Amino acid sequence: MTPMSTAFLPPDFFRRYSVSDIFDRGLECEVDLGCGDGGFLLALAQHEPDRLFLGVERLLGRVRKVCSRADRSGLENVRCLRAESRYVLEWMLQEGSVRRLHYLFPDPWPKEKHHKKRLVQADFIPVLHRVLTKDGEMLFRTDHEDYFSWVCDCMGASGLFSRVDWDDDAFYPKTDFQQHWESLGKPIYSARFLRHEF
């Protein structure tokens, strides 16, 4: 049997996919939004072979890098999709199919005139709530203090998530951007949001 490639190439962008459509098995997965070159995604997938990981990234060169690295390592629990994060969560994944969202060092769009381009907006929080499992969570990390407050404010105001402690004991690799910012001595801000079940 030919092994499945890491690249997930949806045959149709106008339908929803279950986890088993993407991985050939499983009911829930974890999603790395804006996975970049995949350093974090691949390290976590290697460490947790029983969990399933989908990287979402809009730049083709980065997706190609993730896929060739994963294929070379023989990782069978990772897929990478070239698409826009909000579109994937809102229109491509089934409700209640994501156990954990990793939102790590996203583009902060620092200028006020660009704030509307930030991924997290008030109307994005119900999208997160829909796609996560009942006990789902989002892990968020950034070097950008203003965007950190923005995301915490949006999540808090929604009433759909609670901010809880981030358990530092669990294996959680540093992303490429985290290593870069830490090497420059920048502070890092982290938040973990648990989905409310009504």
Ligand X SMILES: C[S@@+](CC[C@H](N)C(=O)[O-])C[C@H]1O[C@@H](n2cnc3c(N)ncnc32)[C@H](O)[C@@H]1O
Binding site for ligand X (CB under 6 A): 34-36, 56-59, 62, 84-85, 104-107, 119, 175-178
- Choose between 53 and 105: whose C-beta lies nearer to ligand X: 105
Tell me the C-alpha distance between 53 and 78, whole Å.
5
Tell me the C-alpha distance between 105 and 173, whole Å.
13
Tell me the C-alpha distance between 155 and 142, whole Å.
15
Question: In the complex, what is the shortest distance from the CB of residue 74 to ligand X, in angstroms, rounded to a whole number?
Answer: 23
Question: In the complex, what is the shortest distance from the CB of residue 191 to ligand X, in angstroms, rounded to a whole number?
Answer: 15
Residue whose CB is nearest to ligand X in the complex, by number: 34
The answer to whether the beta carbons of residues 18 and 94 sit under 8 Å apart is: yes
Residue spans of alpha helices (H) in 8-81: 19-23, 39-47, 60-73
Tell me the C-alpha distance between 177 and 194, whole Å.
24
- Choose between 119 and 194: whose C-beta lies nearer to ligand X: 119
Q: Does the annotation mark 24 as catalytic?
A: no
Question: In the complex, what is the shortest distance from the CB of residue 134 to ligand X, in angstroms, rounded to a whole number?
Answer: 26
Tell me the C-alpha distance between 34 and 70, whole Å.
16
Active-site entry in 107, 135, 146, 153: 107
- Choose between 62 and 79: whose C-beta lies nearer to ligand X: 62
The answer to whether the beta carbons of residues 157 and 123 sit under 8 Å apart is: no
Question: In the complex, what is the shortest distance from the CB of residue 175 to ligand X, in angstroms, rounded to a whole number?
Answer: 3
- Choose between 55 and 136: whose C-beta lies nearer to ligand X: 55
Instruction: Give catalytic residue positions.
Output: 107
